Amino acid sequence: MVDIGIKGRQETTVTSANVAMNVGSGVVKVFATPMMIALMEKAAVLSVEPFLESGQSSVGTKINVSHIAATPEGMKVWAETELVEIDRRRLVFKVAAYDERGLIGEGTHERFIIDVEKFQAKAEAK
């Protein structure tokens, strides 16, 4: 059962593969905002996955974050999430990202619990 307070954490290291200049989000060699968001989403989805019914997953529907500090290649970064609101199938997470020097991003992220087969079938029917 999905309950308020579930926490998640995922980490990675900044490499050439996830810097802004190589993912199309800028011209500098720092951790890219889209990659920070992806790390936050991964932490959120994996935190609730064990509590969902068989055949269910969740999809991201909204993200509102600030990327407040740059992180150079070679540094470790991690995202932390906490489930703070549940409204039927809608899940709201508080999200934050850090590097070895401190906070680099924060905000909120929403996901919806879905039936994987039904969701995929509806998408493919477009």
Catalytic residue among 67, 71, 81, 110: 67
Q: Is 67 a catalytic residue?
A: yes
The answer to whether the Cα torsion of 85, 6, 52, 40 is positive or negative is positive
Catalytic residue among 13, 41, 80, 109: 41
Catalytic residue among 12, 33, 73, 82: 33
Q: For residue 95, which of 119, 64, 121 has the smallest C-alpha distance?
A: 64
Active-site residue set: 33, 41, 67
